[in-house]
Structure 1
Amino acid sequence: MPTPPAPAPSPQEIVIPQQVRPLSGQLDTIPTFNSNSPELVQTEGILLSTFPQNGMAQPAAHLNFGFNGRFDLFAHHVFRAIDADHTSLYIGVILYNPSTQPVTVDVLQAASYLSQPDAPFVQLPPAIENPVGQVYAGPGSRVMSDILRGRRQDIFPAQIVLQPGSYQLLMNLPIPTTGLEPALNGRSTLARLRSSGTVYAASLALLGRRAADGSEQAPSLNDWIALLQTGGLAGERDRAPTPPDQGGQIIYGRVAGVAQGSRWQAQLTDQPGGDALQIPAPGTAYSYALSTLRGGRMGTNQVQAAPMLVRYPDTGYEANGNYAIEYNLTLPLVNPTAEPQRVSIAVQTPIKEDELSRGGLRFFDPLPTQTFFRGTVRLRYVDDRNLPQTLYVHLVQRRGDRSVPLVELNMAPGTRRLVSVDFLYPPDATPPQVLTVTTANNSAPAQ
């Protein structure tokens, strides 16, 4: 008989003693329409409505929040076929102008992709260059890459003009399951918008209708308005979150509401208001925590999750994971020593902790199977030849992943080097991550 394959070795912990720092700066105050609950939609209904409750058949489904000026709209939902006909579930996003004057909504950037066929969850290397945005694993990965590059997909208009008291659709797109096994699909969407006056928004779910010839038809604007005015919340509802002041195991809950924050910009320096970040001593590293949340602050005592301005009672108290929020981080690196130093920068996914129980970051070797991060990171820097570089790298990281350096710099004594790291936190990722700066050990023998 053939010898059975040896079982895979169990992951062993590796501890890297080092400092983890909180991010300077904070989220901006741009509101984000965040529609992510229920993630798996199995009944028609309202996913998220910021309309006033007046005149609505089910007032509790409406959160009464108007947008005026810059705002973001994020939606991430999955659908499993509920009939043998495999009718698609349509996601509609509707805007309304309550005023007596026309309101213009500019669509600055926008993208929406399906898991199948637009952006399947394919196996990719841990790090691969992504110069034109054709590398992705999942719709969240692809959407965030597009928006990072400032794109507006051509299925979205550049501008919508809402007449007084009128409704218009920003989006009316299907999540089809025909021909899929299992009959499961998902759609991720992000739009950056700017309105000239107050508008209300809602994301809604309706099954496609069959026409007399058997073809599937998208819901009409009137179908969406009728659902908005008479319908209740879509189901099945996700697990309710743990209240913030309750101890024990944390259930974060999926997010449905308006979060405060679209972007976190920070210059990472040694002193508040300073203009320099000294590189670590040779053979050491430090990290900055990314997308920290309650129960996962990595010893920083900092929660980066966006606060909710309005939310449904059975959904997340914060925008845990900061899905679709952009991080713009600048590192003005300085080599203060009298020797040349080799410095590397990496994004890592250490084992989640609230306090650092072992005085540093914990990683696994070999890595377990769960993927915790899929997304593109942009790096801008001046290389060792004094040439400006812009590098896009798609990362796939598992739990406890030390990852590989994204940039390595040879810094002469007393020199400065500016590095910018930008990314949008992708849905289907699990926080937190860290941004790590490491200086090589000059005394180590050459390999």
Structure 2
Amino acid sequence: MLPLLLNFLLGQTTPAMPPPEEVVQLQEVRPLPGQLDTVPMFNSNSPELVLEEGILLSTFPPDGKKVPTAHLNFPFRGRFDIFAHHVAKAEPPENLRPLYLGIILYNPGSELVKVNILQAASYLSQPDAPFIELPSFSQNILGKVFAGPGDRVMSDILRGKRQEIFPAQIEIPPGQSRMLLNLPIPVQGLTPPLNGRSTLMRLWSNGTVYAASLAMFARVNPDGSERGLRQPVRVASPTGEAGTPTLEEWQNLLDNSDVARPRDKTPTPLEETRKSRIYGRVAGVAGGSQWQALLIDNLKARYLNIPQPGEVFSYALSSLHGGTLGNGQIQSASMLVRYPDTAYRAHGNYGIQYSLRLPLYNNTQIPQTVSVSMQTPLKEDQLVKGGLRFFSMSARQVFFRGTVRVRYNDDQGLPRTKFVHLVQRRGQMGEPLVLLNIKAGDRSLVEVDFLYPPDATPPQVLTVSTQAKSR
């Protein structure tokens, strides 16, 4: 979303161009087996553009708070995730103080709570992960290929990393709070003065905690200069950096502020079907962190028959209201709690991992060449032309930037793992993630994993095709 937001804020427009010619891929689009797990995700993505201090998302109890409606009263215990994706802009342009993103956890109980940080990453657009032009298909075994902070964060978490700024564990005494994140979104020196930060953390707590994400500008002295840090905050914080808010200041903001502004567009109710649907941005707790699926022909089968030569079928990925590609399945995570002016579901499933296993079986009498690919067809609810619609030439809008892990056995039977970075534009058919030569009667297991990245636009599909034999 940041590149489009940048054009909007700069007042730039792209000259209208005639749409490319459409190509229809006649095929079946199947619903994805399985379902989201029950791990709750703290999802802080509204407002995306933050211009004022305030509460981005609070699951604290409303008791004793100045604005009770800003607190959703949702406790976490055991496994849970925290996702945050926000943008800062100098407004007015001479106000170049960095906006800080704070994430705070509170222990309401009478015993010490330990929170394990299993995996975690947080990056800025500038300078950590600028939006640069990349090829549509790149090998990314070292994780050095990315465009945008969300892209980089998801690649790290897919690899099981915990960024060095995060400790393995934090301890929260009874009745106290601790900062989980306290990092700036700087805009000084940027043209335009606009920057974004994406964060994803996978956590496990041995007791009940509440969470909140907050926005606060760097603290200043009475003369307007940025003051030094009065109290070190040791978790994901630039300790000693001028202007860093303290734990007490974050707590005061949480207790006495309303939700941050400006607010995003109010979403269209899900039951409405008008063309100009507004999905809205997410601020609440979504139900689900991972979608695991075994792709087989039916519940009694043990394998997935490959398509007949020259044929193809696909499975929907991140399908949503108004974009089920003809199978009626909505994969958007449900919202367990949410602010009333934000998205009804977690459309796009940002930060959610898809883990898909395809036990391919060649049930023909001859060897077959089979490909597995990810594609970005034109979004539609019903397949009005009997298949998926693509463009013959690349469109302008990038709809997916992210890394996909593929595991399989090669033609010699040796296990292989590939990390492939994809950049797919609207209506792009995509290249094969893997190409397999499967002998007659043989089976070949393919495993596909990725985290749905911020700044991507659903839906996509996972497509299996068998090459036609030349006559």
TM-score band by shorter chain is: over 0.9
The aligned residue for residue 147 of structure 2 is 137
* Structure 1 CA distance for aligned equivalents of residues 403 and 199 of structure 2: 16
Per-residue CA deviations over 1:121-166 (Å, capped at 9, x if unaligned) read: 0100000000011100100000000000000001111101110001
The aligned residue for residue 146 of structure 1 is 156
* Structure 2 CA distance for aligned equivalents of residues 48 and 95 of structure 1: 12
Residue of structure 1 aligned with 2:199, choices 186, 189, 193: 189
2:56 pairs with 1:47? yes
Where in structure 1 are there 5+ consecutive unaligned residues? 1-6
Question: TM-score, normalized by length of structure 1?
Answer: 0.96
Map 1:152-167 onto structure 2 (within 5 A).
152-167=162-177
2:353 pairs with 1:292? no
* Structure 1 CA distance for aligned equivalents of residues 55 and 17 of structure 2: 45
Residue of structure 2 aligned with 1:25, choices 34, 46, 53: 34
* Structure 2 CA distance for aligned equivalents of residues 280 and 85 of structure 1: 59
* Structure 2 CA distance for aligned equivalents of residues 157 and 18 of structure 1: 49
SS state at 2:200 partner = strand
Residue of structure 2 aligned with 1:14, choices 15, 20, 23: 23
The aligned residue for residue 102 of structure 1 is 112
* Structure 2 CA distance for aligned equivalents of residues 34 and 275 of structure 1: 36
SS state at 1:420 partner = strand
Query: Contact 2:32/2:316 (CA < 8 Å) preserved in 1?
Result: yes
Map 1:328-367 onto structure 2 (within 5 A).
328-367=355-394
The alpha carbon displacement at 1:10 in A equals 4.0
The alpha carbon displacement at 1:245 in A equals 1.5
Query: Contact 1:23/1:290 (CA < 8 Å) preserved in 2?
Result: yes
Q: Which moved more, 1:19-28 or 1:7-16?
A: 7-16
* Structure 2 CA distance for aligned equivalents of residues 147 and 113 of structure 1: 12
The aligned residue for residue 219 of structure 1 is 245
* Structure 1 CA distance for aligned equivalents of residues 226 and 131 of structure 2: 31
Query: Contact 2:281/2:343 (CA < 8 Å) preserved in 1?
Result: yes
Query: Contact 1:341/1:440 (CA < 8 Å) preserved in 2?
Result: yes
The alpha carbon displacement at 1:210 in A equals 3.1
4+ residue segments displaced more than 6 Å: none
Residue of structure 2 aligned with 1:90, choices 82, 85, 100: 100
Per-residue CA deviations over 1:296-329 (Å, capped at 9, x if unaligned) read: 0011110000000000000000000000000000
Query: Contact 1:9/1:366 (CA < 8 Å) preserved in 2?
Result: no
SS state at 1:342 partner = strand
* Structure 1 CA distance for aligned equivalents of residues 273 and 27 of structure 2: 28
Structure 1 letter corresponding to 2:31: P
Query: Contact 1:32/1:72 (CA < 8 Å) preserved in 2?
Result: yes
The alpha carbon displacement at 1:9 in A equals 6.7
SS state at 1:187 partner = strand
SS state at 1:266 partner = strand
Per-residue CA deviations over 1:52-107 (Å, capped at 9, x if unaligned) read: 00000000000000000000000000111124141000000000000001111000
Map 1:16-415 onto structure 2 (within 5 A).
16-83=25-92, 84-211=94-221, 214=226, 216-248=242-274, 249-415=276-442
For the structure 1 residues 24 and 179, does the alpha-carbon distance in structure 2 shift closer, same or farther, using more than 3 Å as the test?
A: same
Per-residue CA deviations over 1:245-298 (Å, capped at 9, x if unaligned) read: 222131100000000000000000001142100000000100000000000001
Query: Contact 2:218/2:226 (CA < 8 Å) preserved in 1?
Result: no
* Structure 2 CA distance for aligned equivalents of residues 42 and 93 of structure 1: 18
Where in structure 2 are there 5+ consecutive unaligned residues? 1-15, 228-241
* Structure 2 CA distance for aligned equivalents of residues 85 and 403 of structure 1: 43
* Structure 1 CA distance for aligned equivalents of residues 52 and 379 of structure 2: 34
The alpha carbon displacement at 1:214 in A equals 4.7
Query: Contact 2:399/2:456 (CA < 8 Å) preserved in 1?
Result: yes
Query: Contact 1:375/1:394 (CA < 8 Å) preserved in 2?
Result: yes
* Structure 2 CA distance for aligned equivalents of residues 194 and 33 of structure 1: 13
State the aligned residue count: 438
The alpha carbon displacement at 1:209 in A equals 1.8
Structure 2 letter corresponding to 1:19: E
The alpha carbon displacement at 1:201 in A equals 0.2
The alpha carbon displacement at 1:365 in A equals 1.6
Q: Identity rate of aligned residues, in percent?
A: 61
Query: Contact 2:21/2:391 (CA < 8 Å) preserved in 1?
Result: yes
Query: Contact 1:104/1:197 (CA < 8 Å) preserved in 2?
Result: yes
Structure 1 letter corresponding to 2:114: T
SS state at 2:355 partner = strand
Map 1:415-434 onto structure 2 (within 5 A).
415-434=442-461
Query: Contact 2:226/2:243 (CA < 8 Å) preserved in 1?
Result: no
Structure 2 letter corresponding to 1:261: G
* Structure 2 CA distance for aligned equivalents of residues 126 and 177 of structure 1: 30
